[in-house]
Amino acid sequence: MSFLDDILQVKLSSNEYIKDAQEKNQIYLHHTAGNASGVNTVNHWNNDSRGRIATCVCISNTGAKEGDGKIVQAFSSKYWAYHLGIKREVFESYKLDYMPLDKKSIGIELCAWGGLEEKSGKFFNYVNREVPKEEVCSLEEPYKGKRHYHRYSDEQIRSVENLLRYWIDHYGIDKTYNARDMWGVSKKALRGESGIFTHNSVRKDKSDIFPQPEIIEMLKLL
């Protein structure tokens, strides 16, 4: 059975994404800065007032009722929603023409809290909720001002790999790993060139995803 058969469909309302098929040449990795459940995340998108801001899939983390690493699909990858939030000034600052990258890219959300604060040997997210030590990744060097992050689980990373391999083949997307394009703002990404990127690739103010060693290793082996 293909991993595709195991994807959980939790559809977004038609007014929460743009049902306009587009050719895709980029994939962006995000994290939610929220709880473990991809189902809860998509349901939240369906009921918020932010407009058409979403990604086509969300991957659940440890502790989600639907299962660790469960891929939750909100809409087809051929359609699109706003997931990058890049202002025109960003393109201008790099002397590049503006490009509507949301249309031509696929977004993947990993359910994770993001950066954590250590207090007396315990780790807390930005809403002061404790994250278990076994779910913490501590980097050798801080990234975007944080050394501790909510870990992307092994099952999540496996699901990301399955999706990337499928979309690389289906859409002909470049799979070459280049750290400069992944962990800082990348002119390659802003020019709309083919590749796999993170939210950091187009936004200095973002820290999703963070450079967890296990996900870097997976990306290198694609």
At residue 160, the pLDDT reads: 98
Q: With a threshold of 0.95, does the pTM exceed it?
A: yes
Per the structure block, which two tokens stand in for 104? 């031509």
Tell me the CA distances in angstroms from 30 to 92, 111, 112, 167, one per residue in order: 24, 9, 9, 16
Instruction: Report whether 102 contacts 81 (CB < 8 A).
Output: yes
Chain centre to alpha carbon of residue 54? 11
CATH of domain 3-112+156-221: 3.40.80.10
At residue 198, the pLDDT reads: 98
At residue 194, the pLDDT reads: 98
At residue 67, the pLDDT reads: 97
Q: Distance between CA 108 and CA 162 in Å, rounded?
A: 12
At residue 175, the pLDDT reads: 98
For residue 80, the cross-strand partners are: 18
Instruction: Report whether 13 contacts 46 (CB < 8 A).
Output: yes
At residue 207, the pLDDT reads: 97
At residue 144, the pLDDT reads: 97
At residue 119, the pLDDT reads: 96
β-sheet with 136-143: strand ranges across = 130-131, 122-124, 115-119, 146-150, 136-143
At residue 55, the pLDDT reads: 98
Q: Can you give the residue ranges of every domain in the chain?
A: 3-112+156-221, 114-151
Q: Distance between CA 135 and CA 149 in Å, rounded?
A: 9
- The residue written with tokens 């990373």 in the block is 157
One digit per residue, pLDDT tens: the chain, 222 residues? 789 999 999 999 999 999 999 999 999 999 999 999 999 999 999 999 999 999 999 999 999 999 999 999 999 999 999 999 999 999 999 999 999 999 999 999 999 999 999 999 999 999 999 999 999 999 999 999 999 999 999 999 999 999 999 999 999 999 999 999 999 999 999 999 999 999 999 999 999 999 999 999 999 999
Instruction: Return all residues near 120 (Cβ < 8 A) that are at least 6 apart.
Output: none
Q: Distance between CA 219 and CA 222 in Å, rounded?
A: 5
Is-cis flag, bond preceding 59, omega within 30?
no
154-169 pLDDT, tens digit per residue, is: 999 999 999 999 999 9
At residue 181, the pLDDT reads: 98
Furthest C-alpha separation in the chain: 51
At residue 113, the pLDDT reads: 98
How many residues comprise the chain? 222
Q: Distance between CA 220 and CA 118 in Å, rounded?
A: 30
197-212 pLDDT, tens digit per residue, is: 999 999 999 999 999 9
